[in-house]
Chain A
Amino acid sequence: EDQVTQSPEALRLQEGESSSLNCSYTVSGLRGLFWYRQDPGKGPEFLFTLYSAGEEKEKERLKATLTKKESFLHITAPKPEDSATYLCAVQAYTGNQFYFGTGTSLTVIP
Chain B
Amino acid sequence: DVKVTQSSRYLVKRTGEKVFLECVQDMDHENMFWYRQDPGLGLRLIYFSYDVKMKEKGDIPEGYSVSREKKERFSLILESASTNQTSMYLCASSLYGQEGKTQYFGPGTRLLVL
Are the C-beta atoms of A41 and B110 separated by less than 8 Å? Answer: yes
Bound CA–CA A87/B105 (angstroms): 13
Total residue contacts A-B, CB cutoff 8 A: 60
Interface residues of A in 44-88 (CB under 8 A from B): 44-46, 49, 51, 87
Residues of B within 8 A of A49 (CB): 100, 102
Let me know if A32 and B100 touch, CB within 8 A.
yes
Residues on A with C-beta less than 8 A from B98 are 31
* Distance from A100 Cβ to chain B, minimum over Cβ atoms (Å): 4
Cross-chain contact A34 with B96 (CB below 8 angstroms)? no
Q: How far is the CA of A10 from the CA of B100 in the complex (A)?
A: 28
Q: Which of A46, A51, A103 contacts B100 (CB 8 A)?
A: A51
Tell me how far the C-beta of B66 lies from the nearest C-beta in chain A, rounded to whole angstroms.
14
Number of interface residues of A (CB under 8 A): 24
Q: Is the CB of A100 within 8 A of B42?
A: yes
Q: Chain A's nearest CB lies how many Å from the CB of B57?
A: 10
Return chain B residues, CB-CB under 8 Å to A46.
Answer: 102-105
By a CB distance below 8 angstroms, the chain A residues around B101 are: 32, 91
Q: Are B107 and A98 in contact, CB atoms less than 8 angstroms apart?
A: no
Question: What are 28 inter-chain pairs, A to B, with CB distance below 8 A?
Answer: A31-B98, A31-B100, A32-B100, A34-B100, A36-B105, A42-B107, A42-B108, A43-B4, A43-B92, A43-B105, A43-B107, A43-B108, A44-B90, A44-B105, A46-B105, A51-B99, A89-B43, A89-B103, A91-B100, A96-B31, A96-B96, A97-B58, A98-B33, A98-B45, A100-B43, A102-B40, A102-B42, A103-B42
A-side residues, CB < 8 A to B, are 30-34, 36, 41-46, 49, 51, 87, 89, 91, 96-98, 100-103
19 further A-B contacts with Cβ under 8 Å, apart from A51-B99, A96-B96, are A30-B100, A31-B100, A33-B100, A34-B100, A42-B107, A43-B92, A43-B105, A43-B107, A44-B105, A49-B102, A51-B100, A91-B101, A96-B48, A96-B50, A96-B56, A97-B45, A100-B42, A102-B40, A103-B42
